[in-house]
Amino acid sequence: MKIQYLGTAAAEGIPAIFCECETCKRTKLLGGKNIRTRSQAVIDDRLLIDFPADTYAHYLKWNIPLDKIKACIITHSHSDHLYPAEIQMRSAGFAHINSGKPLTFYAAESGYNMLADAVKKYNISENDINLKLIKPFESFETEGYVITPIKATHDEKSSPVIYAIEKDEKSLLYANDTSELCEESMACLKALERPFNVISLDCTEANRPIVPYIGHLNFNKCAAIRDEFIKDGIANDKTIFVLNHFSHNGINVIYDEFEKIVRDKGFVTSYDGLIIEY
Ligand SMILES: [Zn+2]
Ligand SMILES: [Zn+2]
Ligand SMILES: [Zn+2]
């Protein structure tokens, strides 16, 4: 299984659109891995996770085979993860697609409703875009993966989920836009009976000592979650832990600084374009 991170920032991006803070100014000067676009990832070049407005930029930069991809799973309906107007570009006259199969979006209630509104507004055929409503804790199969959406602790109105993605012996937990999981979600994870190969966590606040709201994490909380996951058998000492989804408001969030701080503690810092194959 291969995950490629396409976008690794929180909603504003780094540098943040319209921002004059020191982090954003320094990021622009440093460039490289310090530049982060909005959240998206792709598994094995065939399963897309999230659909932000930056999808087009990712397609250009990483040559993602968007014409071939037939499935996209949506974590929640915030605009840095779902930009429904763009689906019009996959309809007749805007794209010429030879494979014949629609692109299917799997989304929980809020994202599903936003996508359904776009389908209606732009009169998109189900031969081009297909929608499936998913529910937390109800596994489904697509493109050869068994996918379990698990309730995230994030803005309820956005119907937030994280995803356990399994194929044969390989597994990935893709978990951002969540703070610590509720009991029901922890029970669901334990019931999957895996140490996951890769666990990708929200680290929106980086080294900020306190997370001032519910819905995201900082590094200290990620480290505590790793300990808990190992204790519960959700992870083991071979699990690759990746920190992802960074905000310019985080402390030490510049990649070049943060990566050094967490590397010794056994964490990988995501960056746009990072590929992990396992
Ligand atoms: Zn986000
Ligand atoms: Zn800024
Ligand atoms: Zn969000």
pLDDT at site 98: 83
Distance 78 CA to ligand 3 centre (A): 5
Among the bound ligands, name the one nearest to the CA of residue 176.
1
Over pLDDT 90: what percentage of the chain? Answer: 96
CA of 81 to the centre of ligand 2 (A): 20
Could you tell me the distance, in angstroms and rounded to a whole number, from the CA of residue 216 to the centre of ligand 2? 18
pLDDT score for 99? 74
Instruction: Supply the DSSP string of 75-119, one letter for each residue.
Output: S--STTTB-GGGGGGGSBTTB--SS-PPEEEEE-HHHHHHHHHHH
For residue 5, is pLDDT > 90?
Answer: yes
CA of 195 to the centre of ligand 3 (A): 26
pLDDT of residue 148: 98
Q: How far is the CA of 99 from the centre of ligand 1 (A)?
A: 32
Nearest alpha carbon to residue 71 among 42, 93, 100 = 42
Query: What is the pLDDT at residue 100?
Result: 73
List, for residues 33-47, the tens digit of each pLDDT value. Answer: 999 999 999 999 999
Predicted confidence at residue 11, as pLDDT, reads 97
What is the number of other CB atoms lying within 10 angstroms of the CB of residue 265? 11
Average pLDDT, the chain: 97
201-231 pLDDT, tens per residue?
999 999 999 998 899 999 999 999 999 999 9
d(CA 26, ligand 2 centre) in Å: 9
Kindly list the structural domains of the chain, giving each domain's residue range(s) and its CATH number in brackets, ordered by start.
Answer: 2-277 (3.60.15.10)
Range name among 28-32, 51-55, 93-97, 269-273 with the lowest pLDDT average = 93-97
Closest-lying ligand to the alpha carbon of 159? 3
Q: For residue 7, is pLDDT > 80?
A: yes
What is the reported pLDDT for 59? 97
For residue 18, the ligand closest to its alpha carbon is: 2
DSSP string, 24-37: HHHHHHH-GGG-B-
Residues 223/225/231/232 CA torsion (nearest 10 deg): -160
